[in-house]
Amino acid sequence: MNNPASLFPQQEVLTVSGTPSPAPDAPASPSPSPTIDPYAALEQQADLSMMKNIVNVMLIGVDYAEERETWSGKDGLSAAHADVMIVLAVNFDENRADLISLPRDIYAKIPGVDGIYKLNASLDCGGGLLAENGAGFLKVCETASYLLGGIPVNYYYAVTMPAVKQLVDAIGGVDFNLDISFTMQGRTYYEGRQHMNGQAVLDYLRVRKEASGLKPSERGDAQRVKRQKKMLIAIFNQLKKKDMMLKVPDILSAFDGQLFTNCTTSQTAALALYGYNMPSENIGMHSMVGHMRSMYSWNFNFINQSKRVDLIREIYGVDVPKIYEISESYAAKVHQNKIANQYINTCGPLTKYVAALIAADDLLPEFTASPTPSPETTPEASVSPAPETP
C-alpha cells in the first residue's frame, strides 16, 4: 500500500533510436487525438511584439442604457458620456500593472476642441459613441494622454451598461465581499460576502447618490471610483479562478456592437496571456486626486498637480510638468474674464444709448438764463420788544 507501483511489474521495453516500442505480442494501442493546450492556442494567437515596455490601455464605461433614452436631457446614443475612465498601464518588463482612475468631473482641456468641459465630455467632443473609426473613444485616449503629460494611450476597450451585465453573466457572475448596503431602482443589496450576477455588479458600479441609502462617507464619484477598481480586480480573479482567462478573446468576440475596441484579436490574446501569469497582488490602484469646486454653475474636479506629477513618476519613471491651464487658479481667471465680458456685453447697449443722448444734448443751443429783477426794498417796521416770559 505504501508502494503501489510495486504491484505493477514493469515490462521490458525495446527502444529503437530512442523511441519506445511496444512489448512483443502486445496489442496495438490506438493513437489518441492530440489535445490542444489552451495556453499554447492562446500563445499562437498573441501578438507578442506588443509585450514589452509599458502599454497603456484605456478602459471606458459609457453611460448608455436603453431605458435612459426616455430620460429628460438625454438623447440616447448621441448623448452618451465616458463616465468611467481608467488607464490600465501594463508593465511587461516588471510583470505588473497599474490602474489609474481619471475622475469624470475633471476640469479638462480637450485637445483640439475650444471651450471648457468636464473630462467625461471627451467622448462627445470626439463625435460620440458611434463616431466613425472610433473617433470618440480615441478622443478620450488623447485627453488621457494630455493628462499624463504626453505619455501615449493608444488602445481602448469600451462597454455600455448592458454589455457590463452580459459580460459578468458570461463568466458566471462574481464572488465579491460587498462593502456597502444600498438600493438601486428598487433592488436592495446588503454588505457581506456574496455571489453577484451582472445586474448586481452593474448596480454596484453605478451607485453613488444620496437617494441610494449610502452613508455620507460612501457618496460621491471619488468613492464610486474606488469601488469600480475593486470590482475590476474581483472580475480578474474570477476569470483566473474559473480558468477562463485563456478564453477572454472568445468571450469578447461575442459582444460585437456592444463592446468597442481598437485592439486586434492578437493583441487581446497577448493581454490575456500576460494576465494569466500575473498575480492580482501585482496590480496597483491609483487615482488622479483633486478637490471639487463650483464654477460656471457646475461642480468641477481640479487635479492636485503636485500629486499628479508624483503619480506619473511612480508608475512611468518620468518627470512631467504641471499643467497650469487646468489648475484652479487659471480656471478662476478665465471664469472672471468671462463674467466681465458678460457684464460688458450686457451693459454695452445701455452705454451706447446714453452716449447718443449726451451727443444729442451737445447739439442744443447754449442756454442763457434771463436776468432776475432785484426785489423792491421795504421800509423796516418798528418792532416793540416782546415781554419777558416768566
- 247-274: pLDDT as tens digits: 888 888 777 677 899 998 889 888 988 8
Whether residue 26 is predicted with pLDDT greater than 60 in this model: the reply is no
Are the CB atoms for 202 and 63 separated by under 8 Å?
no
Mean of pLDDT values over 99-110: 92
Asked if pLDDT for residue 83 goes beyond 80, the answer is yes
> What pLDDT, in 10s, does the model give residues 213-243?
666 666 667 788 888 888 888 888 888 888 8
- Of the two residues 28 and 43, the one the predictor is more confident about is 43
pLDDT at residue 368 is higher than 90? no
pLDDT of residue 304: 95
Torsion of CA 176, 100, 290, 334, to 10 degrees: -140
Higher-scoring residue by pLDDT: 361, 35: 361
Task: Look at 315 and 280; give whichever has higher pLDDT.
Answer: 315
- Residue 367 or residue 20, greater confidence: 367
Distance, C-alpha 116 to centroid of its chain: 17
Mean pLDDT of 297-314: 94
156-190 residue pLDDT tens: 999 888 888 888 898 889 999 998 888 888 889 99
How much of the chain is helix, strand and coil, in % rounded to 5? 45, 20, 40
Indicate the SS3 state at residue 48. Answer: helix
pLDDT of residue 380: 61
Specify the pLDDT at position 155.
95
CB count within 10 Å of CB 264 equals 14
User: E strand or H helix at 266, and its extent?
Assistant: helix 265-276
Rounded to 5°, the CA angle 308-310-311 comes to 65
**Adjacent-strand bridge partners of 16:** 19
Phi, psi of 262 (to 5 degrees): -105, 10
Residue 42 in contact with residue 271, Cβ under 8 Å? no
pLDDT recorded at residue 115? 86
- For residue 107, what pLDDT is reported? 94
Rounded CA-CA distance 260/126 in Å is: 15
Burial class (CB in 10 A: 0-12, 13-18, 19+), 51: middle
The 10 Å Cβ neighbour count of residue 68 is: 16
Top-confidence residue, 156 or 366: 156
Tally Cβ neighbours within 10 Å of residue 111.
13
Q: Where are the alpha helices (DSSP H) in 57-207?
A: 122-125, 135-147, 161-170, 198-206
Question: Any residues with CB less than 8 A from the CB of 45 and at least 6 apart, and which?
Answer: 249, 265, 266, 269
> SS3 for 142?
helix
Categorize the per-residue pLDDT at 19 as very low, low, confident or very high, splitting at 50, 70 and 90: very low
Identify the pLDDT of residue 17. Answer: 35
Q: Are 103 and 112 in contact (CB under 8 A)?
A: no
Percent of the chain with pLDDT over 90: 37
For residues 36-61, average pLDDT: 78
| Position 20, amino acid | P
State the average pLDDT over residues 340-363. Answer: 89
Angstrom CA distances, 97 to 8, 215, 233, 281, stand at 50, 32, 11, 10
Task: Report the pLDDT value the prediction gives residue 205, as an integer from 0 to 100.
Answer: 86
- C-alpha cell read off for 55: 502599454
Comparing 20-29, 177-186, 207-216, the range with the smallest average pLDDT is 20-29
Spatial separation of the C-alpha atoms in residues 47 and 51, rounded to whole Å: 8
Per the CB < 8 A criterion, the answer to whether 78 and 176 are in contact is: no
Classify the C-alpha dihedral 111-115-116-117 as positive or negative.
Answer: negative
Average pLDDT, the chain: 81
How many CB atoms within 10 Å of residue 85?
28
Q: Which candidate, 185, 186, 189, places its Cα nearest to that of 197?
A: 189
Of residues 125, 133, 198, the one with CA closest to residue 160: 198
Q: Is the pLDDT of residue 28 over 50?
A: no
CA distance 202 to 186: 14
* CB-based burial, 140-156: b 16+ in 10 Å, e otherwise: bbbbbbbbbbebebebb
pLDDT value of position 342: 86
